[in-house]
């Protein structure tokens, strides 16, 4: 058995490449790295890696996380610049016992010392959009999650039964310098326990962290929930608390994968597209608000239209 | 009812001051801030705030976190320099909807814009110790948690029933530049849900994050565990996984506080001193390895000897 699941339409090509690695007997770690680096390298995706939209000072700040379900070890970089493939830095940091989570210049120095390629992550297109927005942006203006894409999260299970979780993002457009979202934060942006399952989150990181949602999903799977039940219950828990506080449900989507290769997805959005691969094929699916529970079916052309 | 609990002997004076605020009808938030700022301001404590031991490049990098159990909001700063009272920055960031977690220079810029005082956090004593250690330190040398002190964590409940969690540390001595531990990470270093309880962790942050321990403690309290049961079970869970992986149990200590004012503590160490205050008094206690469960009793003079 092997399986792979990733967030948003934008992960489809990478997921297909990761799926091919798994089909050829490759490891979950190589499949996750392959899938995410393809999204990072593609300048069309303005919420991840090269071409990501900058913070309000015009710098592109990268967050990424990695966790290995066999060792319960993780790695992460936060608010880091110039690292061509943040996910590769996070993967390498996962091999350490201390100094696994590095912020800012420290993360960049680590990438250099590890021989990872650097790159100016600012594209003309992203900087043009920043210049335009910066003309009218005021410090108190609200920040919102992207529409139709955001953090790329990939979970994979390989033939040897190893589970891996990875995440990568350039974070909210016009965020404050140094702002860190949920993506590099263990338990919020991702969590992976080889015994019980893996989970990851995309959307407004500040809200995801209030509920430690990825850990909560895996914790529910540990107590017997299916990945689908766990995603729905974890999201329902936080959403109901937010509603009780007079807030709206916000913009949060979750994915999960079990050690048996079963997957789940849930969202507070009208529709959340994602891709999932099993030994049969890789498919573009969508989670939608159903009647009391999530409706998971193939994404329609209409639902994918206009999305990067 | 009101209650306050904090990690290590070093929190005792601050906890006594926070306790006095609560006794006079003050808020849990003011009690936590008071208790932690007193530890931050004291140069005798080499693992927190002013006088904290530096990273291997000689810079003192500060981590702090704050969570409000009523709103489920939090704030945090990571790998930040020159902020005299990191806990005050974390508290202010908790009032925001986005940009709640700031790393490095961004955190410092926020402190300046918020009017918080800056300070060169390096003391002669800390820098002398750094110079001596740096002479022989090699990049691969293992880093270890402090002995007898570490992150200051304070949990408080006020007469209005509000629960607050706060943490502050300068992190591991000789850490890599940019290294972030568990203390500013929601769910790992701290978690606080007004309905179910608050928890915080001290010790080797890299290990604490593998188990999302503070969230796990509160999650167990949500399912009916007492704070003491929750601390023990959460720690046992991670320790048994570490042992199964061929590792030792590591250096981790936990504290918890329920919305009714009951507290708990657990440790992988031989002895973990902490302070706890109820309407009656403030006492220096210690958690020790007991016969299958933790032994919680007043700390003896011998157990406190030599500790900062």
The whole-number pLDDT of residue A179 equals: 98
Q: For A237-271, what is each residue's pLDDT tens digit?
A: 999 999 999 999 899 999 999 999 999 999 999 99
| CA distances in angstroms from B177 to A61, A111, B139, B180, listed in the order given | 17, 13, 12, 9
B191 near A CB under 8 A: yes
User: What number is the average pLDDT over the span A10-33?
Assistant: 98
Residues in B closer than 8 angstroms to A110, CB to CB, are 176, 178
State the sign of the Cα–Cα–Cα–Cα dihedral A210, A204, B93, A59: positive
Contact A193, A222 (CB under 8 A): yes
Contacting B residues, span 132-161, partner chain A, CB-CB under 8 Å? 142-143
* A54 to chain B, closest Cα gap in Å: 14
- C-beta atoms of B212 and A204 within 8 A: no
B237 near A CB under 8 A: no
Could you tell me the pTM of the whole model? 0.98
The whole-number pLDDT of residue B308 equals: 74
d(CA B268, CA B61): 26
- C-beta atoms of A104 and B102 within 8 A: no
- C-beta atoms of A72 and B211 within 8 A: yes
Q: Is the pLDDT of residue B306 over 90?
A: no
- C-beta atoms of B176 and A101 within 8 A: no
Q: What is the mean pLDDT of chain B?
A: 96
Least CA distance to B142: which residue of chain A? A98
B72 near A CB under 8 A: yes
B220 near A CB under 8 A: no
- C-beta atoms of A204 and B98 within 8 A: yes
* B1 to chain A, closest Cα gap in Å: 24
Contacts of B76 (CB under 8 A, 6+ apart): B63, B64, B65, B66, B90, B93, B100, B101, B102, B184, B185, B186
Contacts of A296 (CB under 8 A, 6+ apart): A228, A265, A285, A286, A287, A288
Residues in B closer than 8 angstroms to A102, CB to CB, are 176-180
The whole-number pLDDT of residue B58 equals: 97
- C-beta atoms of B78 and A78 within 8 A: yes
Contact B156, B18 (CB under 8 A): yes
d(CA B56, CA B43): 19
d(CA A14, CA A49): 14
Classify the complex by whether its ipTM is higher than 0.85, answering yes or no: yes
Choice among B151, B169, B267, B268 that is catalytic: B151
Q: What is the mean pLDDT of chain A?
A: 96
| Nearest-CB residue to B106 (from A109, A176, A209) | A176
Contact B91, B73 (CB under 8 A): no
Indicate which residues of A carry an active-site annotation: 151
- C-beta atoms of A178 and B215 within 8 A: no
- pLDDT bucket at B288, cuts 50 / 70 / 90: very high
Least CA distance to A143: which residue of chain B? B98
Give the count of Cβ contacts less than 8 A between chain A and B: 151
Residues in A closer than 8 angstroms to B187, CB to CB, are 185, 187-188, 209, 212, 215
Residues in B closer than 8 angstroms to A186, CB to CB, are 185, 188, 209-210, 212
- pLDDT bucket at B52, cuts 50 / 70 / 90: very high
The whole-number pLDDT of residue A148 equals: 87
| Nearest-CB residue to A103 (from B103, B172, B206) | B103
- pLDDT bucket at B147, cuts 50 / 70 / 90: confident
Buried b (16+ CB within 10 A) or exposed e, A23-62: eeebbbbbbbbbbbbbbbbbeebbbbbbbbbbbbeebbbb
Contact B233, B267 (CB under 8 A): no
Q: For B4-51, what is each residue's pLDDT tens digit?
A: 999 999 999 999 999 999 999 999 999 999 999 999 999 999 999 999
B71 near A CB under 8 A: yes
The whole-number pLDDT of residue A156 equals: 98
- C-beta atoms of B241 and A72 within 8 A: yes
- C-beta atoms of B79 and A106 within 8 A: yes
Write down all domains in chain B, each with its CATH number in brackets.
Answer: 3-304 (3.60.20.30)
Max distance between CA atoms of chain B, in angstroms, equals: 53
């Amino acid at each position: 058995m092997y399986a792979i699941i990733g967030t948003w339409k934008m992960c489809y090509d990478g997921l297909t490449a990761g799926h091919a690695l798994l089909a050829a007997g490759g490891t979950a770690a190589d499949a996750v790295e392959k899938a995410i680096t393809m999204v990072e390298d593609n300048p069309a995706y303005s919420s991840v890696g090269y071409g990501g939209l900058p913070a309000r000072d015009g710098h592109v700040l990268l967050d990424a996380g990695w966790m290995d379900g066999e060792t319960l070890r993780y790695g992460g970089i936060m608010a880091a610049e110039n690292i061509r493939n943040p996910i590769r830095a996070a993967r390498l940091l996962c091999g350490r016992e201390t100094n696994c989570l590095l912020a800012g210049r420290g993360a960049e120095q680590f990438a250099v010392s590890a021989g990872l390629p650097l790159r100016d992550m600012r594209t003309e297109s992203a900087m043009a959009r920043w210049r335009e927005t910066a003309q009218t942006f005021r410090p108190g203006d609200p920040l919102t999650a992207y529409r139709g894409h955001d953090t790329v999260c990939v979970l994979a299970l390989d033939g040897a039964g190893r589970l891996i979780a990875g995440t990568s993002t350039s974070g909210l457009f016009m965020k404050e310098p140094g702002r860190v979202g949920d993506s590099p934060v263990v338990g919020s942006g991702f969590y992976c326990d080889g015994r019980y399952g893996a989970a990851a989150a995309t959307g407004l990181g500040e809200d995801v962290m209030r509920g430690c949602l990825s850990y909560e999903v895996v914790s529910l799977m540990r107590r017997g929930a299916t990945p689908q039940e766990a995603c729905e219950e974890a999201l329902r828990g936080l959403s109901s608390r937010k509603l009780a506080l007079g807030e709206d449900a916000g913009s949060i989507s979750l994915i999960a994968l079990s050690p048996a290769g079963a997957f789940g997805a849930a969202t507070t959005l009208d529709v959340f597209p994602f891709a999932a691969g099993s030994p049969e094929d890789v498919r573009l699916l969508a989670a939608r608000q159903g009647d009391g529970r999530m409706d998971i079916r193939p994404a329609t052309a209409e639902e994918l239209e206009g999305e990067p």
